[in-house]
Every structure is written in structure tokens, then in C-alpha cells.
Amino acid sequence: MLKKHLVVILSLLVTSGSYGQNTDRTLSSRLPSDSANKYRIKHGNKSQLPSLLVPAALIGYGIASINNHNLKNVNAEIEEEVYTEHPHKKITVDTYLQFAAAAAVFGLDAFGMQAKHNFRDRSMIYLMSNIILNAIVYPVKKYSHVLRPDGSSYTSFPSGHTAEAFASAEFMCHEYQDLSCWYGVAGYAMAAATGYLRMYNNRHWFGDVVAGAGVGIASTKIAYWLYPKIQRLFFKDKPAGTMIMPTWQSGTLGIALARQFR
């Protein structure tokens, strides 16, 4: 049962990572890097709605799993196989793994593997994705009132760690899909591992993880769709090395400063 459901969900996630690629990929890849970047910023992604179908389906599954008897049984069966039948010591690597794909984007670019967008633009996109993500996750956690498998709190749905991990994976996919699809595969593998570890640590139900994945993917896709509009409004002809932006993390409003040092 566990293997069956995990294979199905991973197939859906890989599909979502490639289904929403930019329709202007072929044209922009023929342009010099600066021209290609300006082209993407100007035109953005004009086919965003279809790319949101898979994450919407994942979110829908997660919502249904809260009250649907059959899906609640799936949650219980997976929790039993992953944790109850084989109790084990919890590990904390998922706390860091959720950010691994996003960190890899900035690290790869620093070592010469040029990302699709410049430092300011990709930083803005990633922070926007996190604002959208947190604006969804924390209010839903509060009002859904779902008890965690370990009984520690009523903030189980959806999985915030998984949402962050899949937002980062989608970010990596977008930034490096023109170089190789394997960057996206690596990002999604790290995100899937994060989701599994949330169940392995008995912190989330399967439905929480599925919904979190959908929220994370959708948040990054929406950020890529919105950013060209924001860029035209606020950042025309301004240096790309520094960026200031409001943030929303764990219910707290703040300001983030990102600067690229050369």
C-alpha cells in the first residue's frame, strides 16, 4: 500500500515539474543571456493556468483526506507502515533538506553554472514564493485544526516543511531547466525525501504531505507569473546586485535584504 501510493504521487510531482515550463523556452534559448533574461522578464509565462492543474489536484487530494473515510484510512495505513509498526528515533535532517534545492540554485550560479535569472530577479522570485507559501500554510494550519500523528499539536495540515521543499524544487527546476532536466529531478528528489521524512518522523499524515507539495509547487509557479509585473513596476533600470523585500515566515512579518558580492 505504501509503495503504491508513493509511486503514484511521485509520478504526479515529476509531471508537474515539467508540465508548466515556459512556452517561450525555445525562442529565449536562442538569444544571448542578457537578451534572453530581458525577454523572459518582459513576457513572463503566459500559460500559467494549465501548469497549476497538477498542484491543484495535489491540494485537492490533501483537503479530501481530512474527512474522506477512504483517504483517512490511507493516511492511517501509511502512518502504521512508516512509523507505528517500526518505531524509531526521529531525525532532523528534514529541517535543512527543505531548503537544499534553493541553496543549490545560488550555489551553482556562484560556481559558474548560470541560472536563468540574475541574482536580484531570482532572489525576488524565491522570496515571493515564500511569502505566498506562508500566507497559505499558516492560516490553513490554524483553521483546519488537524491533529498531528504524534499527537503533539493541531497544526498538521498542510506540511510546511514539504511545501517549502517543493517550492525550492520548482525554483531549481525553473532556473536550470534550460541546461538540463536533471537539475529539476534532483530538486524534486530532495523535496520528496523531505516529505517522506515528515512521515518518518511521525509529524505528518500522507495527505498533509501531498497538500504541502501542491502548495509549494503552486507558490513558486505563481511567483514566476507575478514577478515580471512587479519587475516592470519597481525595478526598471535599477542595479541587480541588491534587493529588499518584505517577508512572511511563521506568522511574522519582516524585511529581507539580499546582496550579491563580486
DSSP secondary structure string, 76-123? HHHHIIIIISS------HHHHHTTHHHHHHHHHHHTT---SS-HHHHH
Helix (H, G, I), strand (E, B) or coil at 179: coil
Q: What is the pLDDT along the chain (262 residues), one digit of tens a residue?
A: 555 555 555 555 555 554 444 433 433 444 444 444 554 444 444 556 778 899 999 999 999 999 999 999 999 999 999 998 888 889 999 999 999 999 999 999 889 899 999 998 999 999 999 999 999 999 999 999 999 999 999 999 999 999 999 999 999 999 999 999 999 999 999 999 999 999 999 999 999 999 999 999 999 999 999 998 887 777 665 555 555 454 555 555 455 555 555 5
Residue 7's pLDDT is: 56
Residue 220's pLDDT is: 97
Would you state the cell numbers that stand for residue 66, as one nine-digit string? 481530512
Q: What are phi and psi of 140, to 5 degrees?
A: -65, -40
Half-sphere exposure of 181 (CA within 13 A, CB side): 8
Region of residue 202 (phi > 0: left; psi between -120 and 50: alpha; otherwise: beta): left
Closest by CA position to 195, among listed 78, 106, 64, 20 = 78
Residue 24's pLDDT is: 38
**Is the entire prediction scored with pTM above 0.85?**
no
Q: Are 171 and 81 in contact (CB under 8 A)?
A: no
Residue 50's pLDDT is: 78
